[in-house]
Amino acid sequence: MLTNYIYKLRPNQTQVLKMSAWVNMLRSHYNWCLNDRITQYNQQFIQGDYCDIRTYGEVSPLTCFVSKSGATGNPWKDDKFDREGKARNPRRSAADIQITALPELKIARPWYAQIDSTVLQQNVKRLDTAYKNFFEGRGFPGFKNRSNFTSFTYVMGVKLKGNKIYLPKLGPMRFHNSSSIPDGFTIKACTVRKRQNGWYISLRIEDKSVPEYSAKILGKNPKVIGCDLGITKLVHISDGHQIENPKFATNKKAKRTLKIRQRRVSRKVKGSKNRKKAAIRVGRFHQKIGNKRQAYQWKVANKIVSRNTDVIALENLNISGMMRRCKVKNDNGRFLKNGQSRKKGLNRSI
């Protein structure tokens, strides 16, 4: 059984500065690895072989997604052989090559040596996961900025004792132990994330002795209820019960508060410290709305599963399709009204 526990960290000032520096360096490393893959794709399928004038390096598209003249080294892995003397896996993936190049990165850029090695490896695997999602039909990986790259992940070396957690190369750190981890679970991964009001840690724990779910044997006439999601009411249950929708982000008070705080941001000078402070207040308000929404969803889920029923049926909604923009109406070069202005409020409620 796998589950997650989230706690708020209580780092000292030195640890805060170090984690902030880690995030900045990891973001730069992520963007470099992404640019290396994009460049090699252009070389291999668009430009072909050529010699880089600036570095005088030969570009060979016969190896992998990553160029031979980059900091990725030899793409052929021949250090492991089978009994017949043949290489087991002579061709490596782009992630394997970029992970193998991490020691060279630490030599060329010594400040990367202060980051834990598993954190750097997980940073490359994070990009590999983005590419995997792209090949499955999602969007192409994009370059990260300070607003959408705020976390890093450990996979080993994390120790937990009481209200203190030990993170490699960061040392012991206090945290708010709001809920204790059950006995028998082991830490599989640990993600440190920066939010508007501080640093948080997400522990992924596993207990192999606990099954993922226990199948329930249904009788001849099981009791079934269906749940229909809505906007005016959050959930309509087939037995006639309805659950209210508090609309944390779209009620009158929240919309006015958000409007005032966003107006204060726009009135500050761009690049000033006061503008950054005002933007942090906006971010904290959004975080507060998210916390309320998440807590209410757990309460609603508890109400539904606590009802005396055997089966709960939910509708499979295509949320991204519901929020997609309306099709453009064109009449001989003139754009007609297509209802997108009215749909804007509906998307916000969804």
The torsion angles phi and psi of 245, rounded to 5 degrees, stand at -110, 105
Instruction: Report pLDDT for 39.
Output: 80
Spatial neighbors of 348 by CB under 8 A, at least 6 apart, are: 249, 250
Instruction: Report pLDDT for 58.
Output: 56
pLDDT digits (tens, 9 = 90+) for 129-162: 999 999 988 889 999 999 899 999 999 999 998 8
| Closest CA relative to residue 40, chosen from 57, 26, 18, 23 | 57
Residues 104-108, mean pLDDT to the nearest whole number = 90
Spatial neighbors of 281 by CB under 8 A, at least 6 apart, are: 261, 264
Domain residue limits, the chain: 1-215, 224-316
CB atoms within 10 A of CB 197: 13
Q: Which H helix or E strand runs over 200?
A: strand 198-206
State the first-to-last Cα distance of the chain, in angstroms, to the nearest integer. 32
Instruction: Report pLDDT for 56.
Output: 54
pLDDT digits (tens, 9 = 90+) for 8-21: 999 999 999 999 99
| Closest CA relative to residue 66, chosen from 104, 94, 108, 26 | 94
pLDDT digits (tens, 9 = 90+) for 268-287: 999 999 999 999 999 999 99
pLDDT digits (tens, 9 = 90+) for 313-346: 998 998 888 888 888 888 888 888 888 888 888 8
Cα–Cα distance for residue pair 158/167, rounded to 1 Å: 5
